[in-house]
Each structure stands twice: as C-alpha cells, then as structure tokens.
Structure 1
Amino acid sequence: MSDLLSPTAARAALSEPPRAERPAPSAARPLAQAPLRIRTGHSYHVYFTIALGQRNARFVERAMTPLNRYFAFADSFALTPEPGFDAIHAWNAVPLLTRRPFILTFEDYMPRTPDDRRIPWVERALTRILLGDRCRGLVATSDYALRQFRWQHRANPRLPELLAKTERLYPVTPPRRDRPKPHSDRLRLLFVGRDFMRKGGPALMEAHARLRAQGVPVETTVVSALQWSPRDYIGPPDAAYVAECHARLDQEGVIWHRSLPSAEVHRLMDAADYLIFPTFHDTFGFVTLEAFAGATPVIASDTCVLPELIVPGENGFLLPFENDGIGKWAWLYRQAEAGYLEAYRAQAGRLAEGLVKTLGRAWDGRRDYEQLSAGALAAAQTRFHPDTARRRLEILYERFRA
C-alpha cells in the first residue's frame, strides 16, 4: 500500500497510458451484440445516478475507492487494474491503472479536490486524464455542480474543452405512490441523516420545542447515527455544544432511531407530512428525491442544489441561508477560524426561525396540503423519474463503442 501511495508511484498512476499502447476502438461491434460490461462502484449513489437498468449495459459492481478509508484525498481516483469489463462509469473518482474508456458522474468538484484537501499536482494530473481520449463524457448532477466545476477550473485555459464534454443529468429514483396524500391528524415531521450536526438537526430540535410551546401538535421522528468528529468539515468542533444539541432529542414528541432499514425509512417518509432537511451542506441530498417518491413535500435549506429541486409552494419550502457566490455555505471549510462556532449557532438559529414560521403557516393551511403532495409526486414522476436518466445514459454509453 505504501508503494501505491509514494509520490513516484502515485504520479505514474495518474499519467495517461501512452497513445501507442491503447487498444483500437471497438467501433466494429454492432449494437445488436451483447450489452457493454460497465464497471462501477457499489455505493448508494450508484443507484440514483448510474445503475438505472440501461438496456445496453450490464454492471460490474465492486468497490472503487478502497484507499479512501485511509486517506481522504483518495476518493478522487479509482484503481481499476482488473480485467472483465468494457468501460467504466465512475462516481466522483477518475479511473486509473486501466486503458478502458470511461464516463464520470460528479457532484461538485471534478477532480474531487475540495478546499480542505486540495493537492495541486494531483488535481492537475487528474484533469489531464479528463481531457484525454479515454474520458468519453462528464455528467454533473446539478447546475450547482456545474458552477463549482467552472469555478474550480476558472484559471485553466482548457476549460472550454472540459465543458464540451460535460452535461447535467439529475439523479433519479422510482416513485412509490401514484397519487397524492392528505395531511395527517397532526404535524408529522421526519429528519433523516447520519450526520446530525451537518444536516441541521439542532435547528429542527429548536423549532420542534417552539412549535410545541405554541400548541402545534408536532411529532418529529429523527433517523440519525449522530455521527460527528471534531475534524468534520462542518463540525462544529466543540464537543460540549454537540452534546447539548444531542440532548435535545430527549423532549416530548421526538422519536429517535439510530438506524433503520431503507424500507422502514421509506415507510416513515410516506407517513410524514414533511421531510425536514435544514442541511448546512449537501452536494445533492438524495433524501429529497426519496421523499418526493412518496409524495412527501420537503422543507430544506436554500443552499447547494436544493433550490433546483424544491419549488416553494409547489413541492415544499426553502429556508433562508447564508451562501457564497457558488451557492454553498459561506463558512464552509473554515472550522479552524475564530468565530466558526458562533457562525454555526447563528445559522442554526436562522434555520430554526424559518422552520417555526414555515411550519406554523403549513399547519394553519393544512387544508391545501394535498396540492403540495401532488407537486412532490409530480416531480418524482417527471424530472426525477428513472426513465429520464436511463434513456440519456443509454445514448452516452454508445460512445464506448466508437
């Protein structure tokens, strides 16, 4: 493992194979022949973005970034030296140690070298591979991802070449219902997120307490492992404050589950009136699509991709948020700076205030709830239906035969 990660070995792996050694294109293979064997990963992202039942593909699913458990920067590349596939469709990671062509779906930075772990020579080397012949296409999961991508390469004179390979294709998930639902007999809320602090759990706990004090019959279910580390890129890096926030799960009307099977989470989504997603940073937030699939409106932070998914008053509501020019939290990657905890607390307070106002109005206007539910379901049945992405990916995969 140390040989693989030495500077010499790493630089060699990040180099494109010499052109003379590349196999001849397989354009002679007719479409009527066997489907392409597409190497991909097996993380949960794959089932929203890649393995969607394409008719011209058979997926070979294996781990692609095993070194990431040891080194954070290692999620920027995938080591795929093994045989047994025709092409690669990767998630976030540039394929190395192979001459096979690839398509790459990404959620923000590409190469994946965000500000908290940027290694300039790795970024340059991986970008050269993206500009090479093996890269047959780049798929951004959102307009937010495209903005981040353009900003990342703003000083690169070859940015137009990168953009010429790039298109946007939203993640998708199958609808679980075929009709909207009525409001329940109370205000049923659901929060789902392993990282309670990053996903804005403290804001929801504050809002829940205030709504209860106002006499709103709110019931909040939280599914979260409460995962946290003082080194988290959101944090906050204050164990006492985190413990204080976790303690607020023990209040009347809050039900907490550390973990549940996916089917049970979907059952809770279908029973909830709203999914609450006051996140500080999510490059996509697949849970939003899962809620729409159950005709459940979403109330979320107005940050990252979420304004692209949620149309206020149609399929949910957005909460005010302090963003930078790209559309992510202005304090992102600044957890070591003085004032970070205060900035986190202040933003959590604004989210809580937004939730109290939004949910109070929603409760008072619950007779109109079915229209919101219909809007959420319509999004699942159109923009985020698997057929939409599946057809486009089938077309992109034919580039592997050229």
Structure 2
Amino acid sequence: MDSDFISHGLAPAEEPLPPYSPFEPSAESDSYTDGAPTWDPPQPPEWLEQPHEPGFVATGPTDMVVSSSDRSTQATQLLCPTKGINLKLEGMTATKVAVRIDNERKYNGLLCIAARFYHSPIPLGLGGSPIRASSSSAVEKSDQVHVGFTATPEHADSHKAHAELDLILPRDAATVVPSLVFRLPANSLLEVVDVESGVVERIDVAVVSGAVKLKHVNAGSLRIAIGNGYIKAMDVAVSHGSAEFVAMRGKVHVSKCTADSHTVRVNSPDAPIKLVNIVAGKLLIQVARAAAGISSVAADIITVESVSGHLNLEDIVARVLKVNAVTSPVTGSWDISELIRIVVASAIIKGHLAIAGSGANAYFATSEWPVRLGIRNDYVGHFDVKAANSVVNLSLAGAILSKDQPHHQQGTVGNGTNMLRIESTNSPVVIDSY
C-alpha cells in the first residue's frame, strides 16, 4: 500500500464545535494522569472481536472512522503495528496526548489512535462558523504511516482548535512498533506511561511548548525535545540507542535513566536541569545560563559544558569526567579512575575527589576564585599545585614536598603513578584530606 492516501473531513463547516477550556500544563505537576482523555475511546469494530488464530495481526491501515455529536467530533484509526507511526497535529493548541498499553487486548494486536476535537469560542464581533476546514489523513509509506490532523479556523484571529488524543499500543504484539514520532503544537501535554521493553523501538518527540512526561518507559532509543516547557522522565531506559532530552527554555527533570553502555544527552541552554540516578556509557550535558543539579551518576565518560549556571555534580562515579565552564561555580563529589579535568574561566571549584586505582590524572584550573578540594586519604601519587599571585594551603596526609613555596607546592604521597595538578590565578588553593 505504498503511498496510499486516506482522507476524511472531521466536521462540516456549518457545524460548530462546543466551547472548550484550554489545557494549561503545570510545570511542577507530579501527576501522570493529567493527559488521560476525559472520554472513553470507541469500541473496536465487530470484525476485530471475532475469533482469530493465535498471533493474528491485521495488515495495512483501516479506514478512519469519523463521527460527530453535539459535544465533539471523534476520529478513530486502527493501524498495523509493523510500521512506525508519525503523528502530526497542525492548526491546534492545548493538545493532550496520552500513550498507553492495550492491557485488556481490546484491539487484538492493532495500534489504535483515537482523537477528539473541540474549539474555543470565537472572538466577539466575528460571525460565521469557528472551523473553516478540518481533515485527517493516513499515508502509508514503506516504513511509516503518517497520520495527520488539521483544523483551520474560519478567521485568522480566531482561537485555534483543541484536541485530546489517545494512542493505544498493542500488548504482546507479534512485532515491535518500529517508531513513534510526535510533532505537537504549542501548549501541549504528552504523557507516555508503562511502556515495557519490546513494545516500541524508537520514541521521537518534538513539542513547541507545554510538557512531556514519561514514567516507566523502556524503548530502543528516546529523543524528547521541547521549545519552552517541562520535561519530566521517571524510570526510563534505552536498550541499544541513546536517550536525549532537549529543552530551550523551561525545566528538565530526569529521575532514574538507564542506558548501560549507551549515551544519555541533555541539551538545555536556558532550562535548569536535574538528573538523578543515571547509568550510562556516556553522559553529555550542555547548559548555558541555567543551573544543573546532577547526582548519583555512574558512567564511563561524562562531559559537561556550561557558561554561567551553577554546576553541582554530586556522587559521580566515572572513568573520565570533563567539565568546561566560563563563570559557572562547580561543586560536588567525584570518584574517578582515569581522568578528571575541571576548567573554569572564573568561578569557584569546590568538592571532594577520590582517585580509584593508579595512573589517573586530575587537573583543576580557575582564576579570581579559590579552589577548595578534599582528597580522599588513600590517594597516592604526585601533586603540583600553583596559585599565582596568591597562596597554597596544602594539608595532604603523608605528603613529601619537593618544592615548598607560598604560591607553588610540589611533591608526592606514597608510591603511586597518579597525578594531581591544580592551577589558580589571583585566588588561593586549599587542599586537605578526608
């Protein structure tokens, strides 16, 4: 059915839809039911309820069923889960989308998209019907089914349409859904809950503004991007791809993300981020003017880049940790086995460092602000500490000095191959053991 096209009108122009209160997402809400539709999706067609052989899966998209009532217009599409789903909404706002699993197996292995459409009252003084045109379409291509809903208001300055959409994934399907791709308009809420491993290969979300919430989601790969809003992910995992979270403005909160040997990437120029309980091969973080709170992380390589927001990296275990910042204070505790490099143009560096093993390199550099480090008392190796135009206060247990000057101290602790280097300009360096 390559390039097949199915199109339906959702509501005739002469039949206005009822008023609807726009959804205003709460950035701090902990609820995972906000996005649940307030209506019951339609029952599956009668032919689906007939007995089928085990493992039965329908082929190709079914016709979209469209119905109107005094309250709203509904559209239902049943799709074969063997192809990816690309869902796009246009000309709408305040959209709620909920992704859930067909635990009752009502749809017999098919993927169901059930939508309901409303419209805000048109401004006073403007006559005519609120919707000039509305349509839906399902275009099946070689690897994806593109499903689109469009609503165009009668007047350019009319309020846009609102929608609630429920996407129901099959449980114990014969094949994994290759991809779920969402493109959602301004002031939208997307919730994905209780998606187990083996249900979806890839989840790709882009939202203009609003909120995206994930809870107990396990996919092959994951990408969540929002222009202005809130990303909250609790207990998410990827099996062989990357997990990526992007927010230009708003907030990012990820609590328990498991990527094993794969990559977790967070890009948040002006949105504060909070990451807790992260397990990954690589953790890549880019922030600009926002603060970043990162704790309880175990990764092979961690890279953090920042301009001015406070970086708190607490309870970090890694082989390599690299931090580059301009005026971002860097604090925390770090357990490193090979390399730690924290370079700040002008801000304080303060924390606790543990070096596991031998042959590791630790380098800290800043200016105009002090460096205050506690080094775990099992450290063995060399140290070279400089404080140009200031002083060094070094109290490492067992240290033997080969150079002892107020602003420059070198020496060794025990017999090891680790190397600790610290450079500060115009501000003191304070080092002790813990």
Question: Is the pair's TM-score, using the shorter chain for normalization, greater than 0.5?
Answer: no
Larger Rg: 2
- Structure with more of its chain in strand, by fraction: 2
TM range (shorter): under 0.3
- Structure with more of its chain in helix, by fraction: 1
> Which of 1 and 2 has higher RCO (CA within 8 Å, sep 6+)?
1
